[in-house]
Amino acid sequence: METKTQKKYNITVYVRRFDPDKDAAPRQQQYTIQIEKGLTVLDALNLIKQTQDPTVGFRFSCRMGVCGSCGMLINGKPGLACNTQVLDVTESALTLAPLPNFSIIRDLVADLVPMFGVLTGVQPYIQRSDVEEMENPTREYFQTPHQLEEFLQFTYCIKCGSCMAACPTMATDKEYLGPMPLTQAYRYNTDSRDDAADARREIVSSCHAIFNCHYAAECSNVCPKGVDPARAIQLMKKDLVLRYFGLRKKKCAHVHEGPSQSDYKPKIEAPPFTVDQ
């Protein structure tokens, strides 16, 4: 039986190498690999690691665009290594570098911890004024399809940091909160089950937050999940301005009545903790 052979491409891969403990400055290392259609940038890096240089540092986990750990600069554009096919960006030279606007742990591994610190600061979780109901929910919190649609797009964020790396304001303003945490603030502010929007509005309206966005919209351009952080930021500006003029009412979260045919759960048991408290 005749087997179909795929066309092979010789790709020169330039990898930015840097070990803060040993190197004074980053340097570029060159590798040549042979690839065929379907190979991702992450596959290319694994090929280099397995066949040429086991010391190349990069991070990955899910290999399917879900965990957000393989973000890097691919031919000058932030993106996910596991989600980017080599032949989609080049047929000859591939340049890989760590995400800008972050410090480097080693080689292609950017330190995302400060980003998660800022994210924690915007309180990205549902908070309710009826604490008893929140702690011991009596029934499901129904949402209408419209209420869900208002924030659904922003829940797709996988915290990869690509938007933070592409943002020119992040590059100039070291205190800028950044597109990802701002988007998550909007996501929870828009959730009909949440009551903490006022506290988040205080945070996002500080000098180094939404009003400092110059609307380059590069964050939305590079986001691998179609989250559109620039849109979230502009919607948040609109929300704050309407409130400033008293044109938007205060929203109060409550337990929504669901469709009549649905069953209410008398008591939702929380799953057991998977780690020691």
Partner 1 sequence: MKETAYWTWFIIAAIVILVLAGLHMVVMHLPALGVYNPASGAATDWQNVAFRSQHQFIAFTYIILLAAALYHGLYGLRTIVFELGPTKAFQEVFTVVLWIVGLILFGVGAYADLAAKSVGRVL
- The SS3 assignment for 136 reads coil
71 phi/psi in degrees, rounded to 5: -60, 135
Q: Is 170 in the site for ligand SF4 (CB under 6 A)?
A: no
Please identify, using beta-carbon distances, which residue of 37 and 214 lies nearer to partner 1.
214
Q: Is 88 left (phi over 0), alpha (psi -120 to 50) or beta?
A: alpha
Q: Are strands 93-97 and 8-17 parallel, antiparallel or unpaired?
A: parallel
Q: Is 237 in the site for partner 1 (CB under 8 A)?
A: yes
The minimum distance between CB 55 and ligand SF4, in angstroms, equals: 28
Using alpha carbons, list the distances in angstroms from residue 161 to 26, 205, 219, 245.
Answer: 21, 22, 9, 34
212 phi/psi in degrees, rounded to 5: -95, -5
The minimum distance between CB 267 and ligand SF4, in angstroms, equals: 35
Name the binder of 157 from ligand FES, partner 1, ligand SF4, none, CB < 5-8 A by kind: ligand SF4
- Of 28, 32, 206, 262, the residue at the interface with partner 1 (CB under 8 A) is 206
Q: Is 98 in the site for ligand SF4 (CB under 6 A)?
A: no
The minimum distance between CB 79 and ligand FES, in angstroms, equals: 10
Q: Is 60 in the site for ligand FES (CB under 6 A)?
A: yes
Q: Is 65 in the site for ligand SF4 (CB under 6 A)?
A: no
Name the binder of 165 from partner 1, ligand SF4, ligand FES, none, CB < 5-8 A by kind: none
The minimum distance between CB 44 and partner 1, in angstroms, equals: 37
Does residue 35 contact residue 11 with C-beta atoms inside 8 Å? yes
d(CA 42, CA 101): 21
